[in-house]
Amino acid sequence: MRRFLIGGTLILILASVFQLSRLTAGWHFVVPADAGELVYATTFNAIVSDWEQDQGQLSSQVVDNALRLNVDLQNDGLYSAVEHHFSEFDMRVDTRAVAGNEDNGYGVVFRQQDRENYYMFHISSNGFYRVTRVVDGATRTLSTWVPSPLINQGFDVINQIRVVGDEDQFQFFINDALVELCIPDSTDALSTVGLNGECLEGQWTDTLTDDSIGFGRLGVTVVTDGMPAGPVVEFDNVLVYGTPLSLQE
């Protein structure tokens, strides 16, 4: 009888541990940060173990003291993210396109929870930027491609990208300048920028409000959706601060 009780107790303990492991499988530690506090930095000058790296037609590798991403497929893309999770953040990264076609897209992935839930901010080597969101695998353009003289066009030139996230609000910077977004009037609309710079079927704003994803990883990304294959982009000097006390007005 005693052996039966001990065996039954062990089975209950193991069952509880199994259920707990299933419950906590999706839990992540979110890095806490005070406003303006530097919480993460890397220059890719040494062995980097906390960033995803892959080989093949979609590759992300540390090469010549930079994280180099290459997308050798059309209508595809990849990202490389640091293993840490953040809620509020102020991320800056230096970018440099080194090969491919100037009609490209590269930048920052943020609040990345898995392969089907994240945001992206892209610029292109021919002078445009946009914001997209992926939720449950469905991609939506939150701000269409916008032309900007702030972007240093061409190859082998550096553009610093900065993304700030504070709860459900986000702001985006290119080379230290806050950029405006062309946000659609409704979830069913798709905004465009007119020939005279007007935001058609949308409104200009310098702050995106979206509460779809509350936290996640930060990283870098390159895409070729609707663009030629073969962009090669290097990323360096990643800095992550705690969010400022308030977003820039």
Give pLDDT tens digits for 4-54. Answer: 444 444 344 334 333 423 333 344 446 666 778 899 999 988 777 788 887
Over residues 162-182, the pLDDT tens digits come to: 999 999 999 999 999 999 999
pTM of the entire predicted model = 0.85
Asked if 212 and 133 touch (Cβ cutoff 8 Å), the reply is yes
In the block, residue with structure tokens 């040494």: 46
> How far is Cα 58 from Cα 135, in angstroms, rounded to an integer?
22
Domain count, the chain: 1
Structure confidence at residue 249 (pLDDT): 56
- Is residue 48 assigned to a domain? yes
Over residues 181-227, the pLDDT tens digits come to: 999 998 888 899 999 999 999 999 999 999 999 999 999 999 998 88
- Is residue 167 assigned to a domain? yes
Strand partners, 115: none
> How far is Cα 217 from Cα 84, in angstroms, rounded to an integer?
6
- Is residue 109 assigned to a domain? yes
- Is residue 1 assigned to a domain? no
- Is residue 161 assigned to a domain? yes
Using a 10 angstrom Cβ sphere, with 0-12 exposed, 13-18 middle and 19 or more buried, the burial of residue 9 is: exposed
Listed in sequence order, the DSSP H helices in the chain are 2-24
Residue 146's CATH number: 2.60.120.560
- Is residue 45 assigned to a domain? yes
Listed in sequence order, the DSSP H helices in 25-76 are none
- Is residue 24 assigned to a domain? no
The boundaries of the domain holding residue 97 are 36-241
- Is residue 75 assigned to a domain? yes
> How far is Cα 146 from Cα 181, in angstroms, rounded to an integer?
8
The DSSP result for 144-182, as a single string, is EEEE-TTS--SSS--EEEEEEEETTEEEEEETTEE--EE
Over residues 89-119, the pLDDT tens digits come to: 999 999 999 999 999 999 999 999 999 999 9
Mean pLDDT of 56-61: 79
